[in-house]
Amino acid sequence: QVQLVESGGGLVQAGGSLRLSCAASGLTFSRHCMGWFRQAPGKEREFVAAISWGGGTGGYAPSVKGRFTISRDNAKNTVYLQMNSLKPEDTAVYYCAASTLRWAITAGQYAYWGQGTQVTVSS
Q: What pLDDT is stored for residue 45 in this prediction?
A: 97
Q: What pLDDT is stored for residue 54 in this prediction?
A: 83
Q: What pLDDT is stored for residue 41 in this prediction?
A: 92
Nearest to 6 by CA among 72, 103, 95: 95
pLDDT at 55 over 90: no
Average pLDDT over residues 80-100: 98
101 φ, ψ to 5°? -75, 155
Q: What pLDDT is stored for residue 56 in this prediction?
A: 83
